[in-house]
Amino acid sequence: MAEKSLQEQHIPVMRDRVIEMFAPALNVANPLLIDGTLGLAGHTESLLKEFPSLKIIGIDRDPIAIERAKQRLGELASRVEFVNETYDQIEKVLAGRKVNAVLLDLGVSSIQLDETNRGFSYSHDAPLDMRMNANDSLTAADILNSYDVKDLTYILGTYGEEKFAKRIAQELVKRRSNKAWTTTFELVELIKDVIPAPARRTGGNPAKRTFQALRIAVNNELQILEKAIPQAMAALMVGGRILVLSYHSLEDRIVKNAFKEQSSVIDALPGLPILLSKKKAPFELVNRKAEQACDAEIVSNPRSTSVRLRVAQRVEVAA
């Protein structure tokens, strides 16, 4: 059987809706877009084909992803400025430039899931790594073998929303006194042992929440997102749009709150009950509620199952 092309291996989530949402911002002369999470460049490829004059700044913390993206894009890569950085460095990367659009497709990318030796998947035995950039120092094994019960409980409970977090943390610390944690299947086996049978039978693989929590902690994902959103919004010119695809409630909550904060109308000065003036906020919400993938897409592209799409647009604000 012939090996699948990168285009066949990686189908961008909600591709058509992303193009549709960006159209008002990109149907201008010489538009510029930041793809802050380039990955395998699925969205970037689609946008470059749809908007012939578009140029893109493609940011990714994973140098392997950047090389694979260049391979996928071929001649289209000439319209992309590739940057090996985390996307909370948007301000530094732009160096004063303004853009028409920002795309953030959050979470783990296809290349990281598909390369099983990187330890992101609980379905394959691999070293407990989970680094999106192999040059970073902290690994999942480091966390499991050095953090105490309190810190492990916080990570699993907060980032994984795992209700058995303390029980798992206690067992992790207990067992590592005999042998250090090294592989994903060792961790999966512990989780199966610790979580009660009735809870294991609902909500998918019981290891999913722990693996999500460790990945977020290793890669500092939520802190990066919190720093990046204000920078991304500040970089937009009037009429520009920011579109974020998130895949769990922690990410979506950060995006929702950041958008809401900059799109609220201020009716009065703080501390004064009397309405003095209406000050228009710098952004408006393009979709009031997060959008989800349709059933047909979920069937054809299972990675779209949990996606939430939010869009905000910069508007003209009177001085």
CA distances for 280 relative to 5, 245, 267, 317, angstroms: 48, 26, 9, 6
Asked if residue 85 has pLDDT above 80, the reply is yes
Indicate the pLDDT class of residue 1, thresholds 50, 70 and 90: very low
What are the structural domain ranges in the chain?
A: 6-105+221-314, 118-219
- Distance, in Å, from the CA atom of 56 to the CA atom of 77, rounded to the nearest integer, reads 9
Same CATH topology for 6-105+221-314 and 118-219: the answer is no
**What's this model's pTM, rounded to 2 decimal places?**
0.88
Structure tokens at 56: 């893109």
Indicate the pLDDT class of residue 278, thresholds 50, 70 and 90: low
Asked if residue 276 has pLDDT above 70, the reply is no
Indicate the pLDDT class of residue 319, thresholds 50, 70 and 90: low
Average pLDDT of every residue of the chain: 90
**Three-class secondary structure assignment of the chain:** CCCCCHHHHCCCCCHHHHHHHHHHHHCCCCCEEEECCCCCCHHHHHHHHHCCCCEEEEEECCHHHHHHHHHHHHHHHHHEEEEECCHHHHHHHHCCCCEEEEEEECCCCHHHHHCHHHCCCCCCCCECCCCCCCCCCCCHHHHHHHCCHHHHHHHHHHHCCCCCHHHHHHHHHHHHCCCCCCEHHHHHHHHHHHCCHHHHCCCCCCCHHHHHHHHHHHHCHHHHHHHHHHHHHHCEEEEEEEEEEECCHHHHHHHHHHHHHHHCCECCCCCCCCCCCCECCCEEECCCCCECCCHHHHHHCHHHCCCEEEEEEECCCCC
Asked if residue 33 has pLDDT above 70, the reply is yes
Asked if residue 273 has pLDDT above 70, the reply is no
For 6-105+221-314, which CATH class? alpha beta
Asked if residue 225 has pLDDT above 90, the reply is yes
Task: State the average pLDDT over residues 282-309.
Answer: 94
For 118-219, which CATH class? mainly alpha
Structure tokens at 52: 């012939």
Indicate the pLDDT class of residue 204, thresholds 50, 70 and 90: confident
Summarised one tens digit per residue, pLDDT across range 137-163 is 999 999 999 999 999 999 999 999 999
- Distance, in Å, from the CA atom of 128 to the CA atom of 125, rounded to the nearest integer, reads 9
